[in-house]
Amino acid sequence: VTEGATTGYGYGVLGDYKSLKTYSANGTYYLYDTTKPMSGVIETRTANYGSSLPGSYSVDSNNAFTSTSQGADVDAHYYAGTVYDYYYNTHGRNSYDNNGATIRSTVHYGSNYNNAFWNGAQMVYGDGDGSTFDPLSGAQDVVAHEITHAVIERTAGLRYQDQSGALNESMADVFGYFVEPEDFLLGEDVYTPNKSGDALRSLSNPDAYGQPSHMDDYYYTSSDNGGVHTNSGIPNKAAYLTIQSIGKTKAEKIYYRAMSVYLTPTSNFSAARSALLQATSDLYGTGSTYNSVASAWSQVGVN
Ligand SMILES: O=C(O)[C@H](CCc1ccccc1)CC1(C(=O)N[C@@H](Cc2c[nH]c3ccccc23)C(=O)O)CCCC1
Ligand SMILES: [Ca+2]
Ligand SMILES: [Zn+2]
């Protein structure tokens, strides 16, 4: 019996065919990808509808992860690989710690759990209740959002509270777009499966989903760590305006440099504007690109 890296396949949450990097041992196939140029691996596990982590390896007897319940496992594994590839190919970053850390995901967490999270060590995905959410790993932008939280922890370290927390949230949403740039929506592929055209959030129109897009409408609250999932609308809108004026290629380099070089745990929105302008100056000087970034933040009321 062979032991080692293999290529299998499966169907994702939306029933789409995907080729998978798997591992074979003792006649069992694991969602365990050893092919990345990093010392760690990409591994996907299941909590089997319980809440103990990390759970057991997602396995299959014939390297064909084709059952409906395996869709969440397939997508968590496949999309984690694409997010690894994005950070490595676009920014030269080797996993979230830039040192080849293993990227671990656990799916089927809880019962009909309508959420997902990075717990400081791994990603965790609920299956959703089929009405509010489909299994959340079925959205590439959600997977990118979660892995970006891990990157932020190892770089800017933005405190998950008030403005620095909203910035943390925004960077996660913005890199969700950079990884999946087909729209400015977040979570649209898994949100309300029975309703089309909606999403969890919108970078281009935060107000459509109850988020402010200007400092005048900053939402002061004690819940959700000071409204981090609400006030992220303001930096999200600034990011959208920036992308629209200078393009994705320049924007993602500026955002990555700001996140990895200039932002700190206590950076607020104004500090983010400064960090992004400094990154822009480093990369592109202080001409039209610089003015576009400054303008974007002025338009959302941050100077
Ligand atoms: O990573 C994050 O910021 C979110 C982590 C939420 C969480 C935090 C701590 C423990 C458990 C869960 C998860 C996501 C999120 O934005 N959640 C929002 C919106 C949301 C999703 N499911 C919900 C259920 C009820 C209320 C709100 C929500 C939230 O938790 O606010 C990110 C992309 C999609 C899900
Ligand atoms: Ca999207
Ligand atoms: Zn988040």
pLDDT at 38: 82
Give the ligand with the smallest distance to the CA of 172: 3
Residues 32-56 pLDDT 10s: 999 998 888 999 999 999 999 999 9
> Is 142 close to ligand 1, i.e. is its CB under 6 Å away?
yes
pLDDT at 1: 59
> Is 229 close to ligand 1, i.e. is its CB under 6 Å away?
yes
Best mutation site among 83, 112, 115 for ligand 1, i.e. most ligand atoms within 8 A of its Cβ? 115
ipTM: 0.98
Burial of 54 (0-12, 13-18, 19+ CB in 10 A): middle
Residues designated as active site: 146, 229
Residues 85-118 pLDDT 10s: 999 999 999 999 999 999 999 999 999 999 999 9
> Is 80 close to ligand 1, i.e. is its CB under 6 Å away?
no
User: Rounded CA gap, 139 and 55, in Å?
Assistant: 21
Residues 56-75 pLDDT 10s: 999 999 999 999 999 999 99
CA distances from 262 to 20, 86, 280, 284 (A): 37, 21, 11, 16
> Is 187 close to ligand 1, i.e. is its CB under 6 Å away?
yes
User: Which atom number of ligand 1 is nearest to the Cα of residue 115?
Assistant: 22
pLDDT at 39: 85
> Is 115 close to ligand 1, i.e. is its CB under 6 Å away?
yes
Any residues with CB less than 8 A from the CB of 85 and at least 6 apart, and which? none
pLDDT at 2: 72
Query: Which residues have their alpha-adjacent CB atom under 5 A from ion ligand 2?
Result: 141, 180, 183, 185
Cα(227) to ligand 3 centroid in Å equals: 12
Residue ranges in the chain whose pLDDT is less than 70: 1
Amino acid at 118: W
22: nearest Cα among 55, 64, 82: 64
